[in-house]
Amino acid sequence: MFGTGNDDKSERMGPKYDTPSLIGVYRTPPYLHHGKAKTLHEVLTTYNKQDKHGRTSHLQPAQLDDLVEFLRSLPYEPPPTVTENTVPYRVPPEKNK
């Protein structure tokens, strides 16, 4: 537990929320369960002052930038178009010319 559950007085779940995947995190601001962190940089600075969420306070500005760039590079993978439950679709013959 690193304390974001206490950041928000209206939070009724306490610390009981899912840890999000970081895949495609570049496209889903704002961050943290309460959405208070507008940028990834804020996740690691403003909202991690006590190093409860990983150790980031010792990082130099350029190192923080590198870490943010790494997070931004995590690709978003679109959901598969075909799964084992997909019903095969057949194009009607008259449209298949």
Q: What is the contact surface with ligand HEM in residues (CB under 6 A)?
A: 4, 19-20, 22, 25, 28, 31-33, 40, 43-44, 53-54, 56, 67, 71
Sequence-ordered list of residues with C-beta below 8 angstroms from that of 42, at least 6 positions apart, any chain:
31, 36
- Closest residue to ligand HEM: CB criterion: 54
Return the structure tokens found at 62.
């350029």
- Shortest separation between residue 80's beta carbon and ligand HEM, angstroms: 22
Contact call for residues 40 and 71 (beta carbons, < 8 A): yes
- Shortest separation between residue 84's beta carbon and ligand HEM, angstroms: 29
